[in-house]
Amino acid sequence: MQPDVFFAGAGLDRADAARADAELLSSYARSPLAAELVWADGLPAVSQGGDLLWQPVGDGALFLGLDGDRPRFSPLQATVGGWPAVMPLVGCLSPAQAPIFAAAMSLARWHSTHGFCANCGAPSDLVRGGWSRRCGTCGTEHYPRVDPVAIMLVEHDGRLLLGRSHYYSPGRYSALAGFVEVGESLEDAVAREVLEEAGVVVTDVAYVASQPWPFPSSLMIGCRASALDDRLTIDRTELDDARWFTRAEVAAAVAGADEAPFGPPPPFAIARSLLEHWLTA
């Protein structure tokens, strides 16, 4: 059974067939049932109850999809807020609406930084309801990028290897992670990252779950792996620290116990979902 993962889920019906029909999209924007996502300070606005906020359609540039028979749009954003600003919002965001938040954030950021054709350098135009851009000079079509990231729990004799990045809050440990490089399989990326960061050789890499991570456009691919031994050689440029933790220590951290030896990742991170899933396996 896969773990529940924040930002993952159905969200809206993306209605892919409608994206190529400009007349249909225009009729959707004029519908009395249509609504546009409210943004504030470069981020989708969230109510105190954790719901996304909607308003009548303005520019309606980005077609997010259909909520039943209700079209949903988002305006273009010149600038999009960064991770420090978004954390308080994500902490109170409704899980059911998180996939919509993630799609809107990723689309908006991509458009704000990809106004020119990567092939010839000419300005590009938004097409397909905002799900691609087309160059008016050479005709090349560009699509929103997704950057795959391997994130993994490494196990040895019932213990987990967790690490600390230099930018983590004091006491926090999490799963090791790194970008999948070109020409590399997911399994090879897991093995390479663990070896580079912690000096540990792993085997038996297995997929667990994935998470869209819109900061700015990653796909976190959660895995498990087995270590051949527990000797650590930590790359201090990548990690502040790395340690092995017992099941009891992980359980105490996830439960928020006073005696826990580390602080766990936040509930909306896939690393937290992986830890909770491991505890029940």
Residue 234 has pLDDT above 80, yes or no: yes
Residue 21 has pLDDT above 90, yes or no: yes
pLDDT tens digits, one per residue of 61-104:
999 999 999 999 999 988 887 767 788 888 889 999 999 999 99
CB 149 within 8 A of CB 218: yes
pLDDT on residue 281: 84
pLDDT on residue 80: 85
How is residue 206 written in tokens? 């297995």
What pairing do the DSSP bridges indicate for beta strands 218-227 and 147-156? parallel
Q: All domains of the chain, ordered by start, with CATH?
A: 1-112 (no CATH), 114-144 (no CATH), 147-280 (3.90.79.10)
CB 252 within 8 A of CB 259: yes
Q: What is the pTM of this model?
A: 0.94
pLDDT tens digits, one per residue of 169-228:
999 999 999 999 999 999 999 999 999 999 999 999 999 999 999 988 999 999 999 999
Say how far apart CA 169 and CA 52 lie, in whole Å: 28
